[in-house]
Amino acid sequence: MSADRFEALYAATREPILAYLLRRVDWPEDAADLLADVYLVAWRRIDEVPRGDGARMWLYGVARRQLANHRRGDRRRTALASALAGALRSVTPPDDGGRLAAALATLDETDRELIMLSAWDGLTSADIGTLLGIRAATVRVRLHRARRRLEHALEPPSARGERLEEAPRGV
């Protein structure tokens, strides 16, 4: 009997409750989610839902509370997103005109990951070794080589050319 009552309640009130929600949210998808939440409350508390026109007013009250919860959630998410953006700005290394990003892009994925784990995430060679499943001594050697390749990639092209000219030939 409760299922029949719920179905009748839903059929009779779905459109006005949805219209109420649509007028109060920015996105139709949010209104659809809120409508589902309203009727979930109604399903769970079907014995408490008044009969007759009181049911529609009861559902408006539930919709109003669901909408308030939705807005509080939006404010929380916005505040969290702002806090996260601030935190990301504080941990992202300064970029000198894109040179660092360009130099990192020249490295292979393994070198890039080693440098980022060490420099940006502050992990030790032992920590990186544990994370990657290799010995800390191996990490130190690979990290040293990756840093050398990054230094080379960060050098201006003219400096790289001069170094090549100074290098002994045939070695």
Mean pLDDT along residues 30-38: 97
pLDDT 10s digits, 99-135: 888 888 899 999 999 998 998 888 999 999 999 999 9
Is 30:63 a contact under the CB 8 Å cutoff?
Answer: no
Q: Which CA distances in Å does 88 have to 81, 103, 142, 151?
A: 10, 21, 27, 25
**What residue ranges do the domains of the chain occupy?**
2-91, 99-166
Q: What are phi and psi of 92, to 5 degrees?
A: -85, 125
Structure tokens given for 159: 């400096």
Amino acid letter, residue 85: A
> How many residues in total does the chain contain?
171
Residue 91's pLDDT is: 62
Least confident of 33-37, 153-157, 159-163: 159-163
Instruction: Look up residue 168 and give its DSSP letter.
Output: P
Both tokens of 77, joined, read 């998410």
Portion of the chain with pLDDT greater than 70, in percent:
85
What tens digit of pLDDT does each residue of 51-96 get?
A: 988 999 999 999 999 999 999 998 998 888 888 877 777 665 665 6
CATH number for 2-91 (one of 3.40.50.300, 1.10.1740.10, 3.65.10.10, 1.50.10.20): it is 1.10.1740.10
* C-alpha torsion 114→115→120→124, nearest 10: 60
Tokens of 27: 């996105």
55: number of Cβ within 10 Å: 18
Q: Distance (Å, rounded) from C-alpha 11 to C-alpha 94?
A: 58
Q: Tell me the C-alpha distance between 34 and 18, whole Å.
A: 9
Token pair in block for residue 51 = 């009969």
Give the architecture-level CATH label for domain 99-166: Orthogonal Bundle (1.10)
Residue 163 has pLDDT above 60, yes or no: no
